[in-house]
Amino acid sequence: MTIRPRRSALYMPASNARAIEKARSLECDVVILDLEDAVAPEQKAAARAQAVAAGGFGHREWVIRANGLDTEWGADDLAAITGAGCDAVLIPKVSDPATLHAAREKLGPGPALWAMIETAQAIVDLRAIGEAAAETGLTAFVVGPNDLAKELRLRPGVDRAPLLPILSQIVTVARAYRIVPLDGVMNAFDDEAAIEAECRQGLAFGFDGKTLIHPNQIAPANRVFAPSDDEVAWAQTIVAAFDAPENVGKGAIKVEGKMVELLHRDDARRTLALAAAIRR
């Protein structure tokens, strides 16, 4: 089982050379060089040139967020990204499968597509977007809470209650179509307890990791989205129990006073594979 950890995905404006250099030694699993919201119009061309030449992030996954194809920069972004060698291109404001097909056509084979889910229309048509994943090489959904709140006129607050039904829909469709769901950013970056709490909420809702805006947020996200020592030990116990001679061929067994089924062994194997990938 191969698993790529995506506990922490750090955005930075691709116009910010200092942030890009810093990212090469930060402990995030994913680096997202942004050409869209975090870059002012007059800096778009310079940011694009810097993003496609960046490379060299070691074990970190290298993602570039392009401008939308409906903007004056989108086509030039994708043309430049084609030869960059990045792992994925994050497409903003994906609201229909046509957007994914258009991006794939411009990029040719090569980087995976990741989709920002951040519009009302995307939520309405989420299933159609998910169905286009295999054909277009779409591998991740990234929640865009700031744009969602703006467009839906939500006022999420600290517990994010108004966003929760939407987060559930995004995770559900992602799982149905084998897409990796990544939770949205938290704008307040000076409050470690708050980011940790929001990561725990994202984990509970089924996300694989969280998108981040500041290096301060990396350690809490890595901690929360990694299997804990207790979870690893329990997973080892389950796998070993099913391997025991007396349990061969059984679908449900008793382990430490609890019923454990084969589905729990599958989950335990995933936990162990993720823990091993993180150690590597």
Q: 3-state class of 34 per DSSP?
A: strand
Of 36 and 235, the one with the shorter C-beta distance to ligand COA is 36
Of residues 7-26, those binding ligand COA (CB under 6 A): 10-13, 18-19, 22-23
Of 51 and 235, the one with the shorter C-beta distance to ligand COA is 51
Q: Any idea what DSSP says for residue 223?
A: H
Do residues 66 and 77 lie in contact, with contact meaning Cβ atoms separated by under 8 Å? Answer: yes
Of 118 and 208, the one with the shorter C-beta distance to ligand COA is 118
Report d(CA 48, CA 115) in Å as an integer: 19
Residue whose token pair is 């084979």 = 109
Amino acid at 103: A
**Is residue 151 at the binding interface for Mg ion, with CB under 5 A as the rule?**
no
Report d(CA 33, CA 239) in Å as an integer: 40
Contact track, ligand COA, 167-186, x by CB under 6 A: ------------------x-
Q: 3-state class of 50 per DSSP?
A: helix
Question: Of these partners, ligand COA, Mg ion, none, which one is at the site of residue 13 (CB under 5 to 8 Å by kind)?
Answer: ligand COA
Token pair listed for 6? 């995506």
Strands 209-212 and 252-255: unpaired
Q: Which residues contact 55 (CB under 8 A, 6 or more apart)?
A: 62, 84, 85, 86
**Is residue 147 at the binding interface for Mg ion, with CB under 5 A as the rule?**
yes
**Is residue 37 at the binding interface for Mg ion, with CB under 5 A as the rule?**
yes
Question: Of these partners, Mg ion, ligand COA, none, which one is at the site of residue 34 (CB under 5 to 8 Å by kind)?
Answer: ligand COA
Contact track, ligand COA, 183-212, x by CB under 6 A: --x---------------------------
Strands 252-255 and 258-261: antiparallel
Contact track, ligand COA, 20-59, x by CB under 6 A: --xx----------x--xx---------------------
Using CB under 6 A as the criterion, which residues of the chain lie in contact with ligand COA when the complex forms?
A: 10-13, 18-19, 22-23, 34, 37-38, 185, 213-215
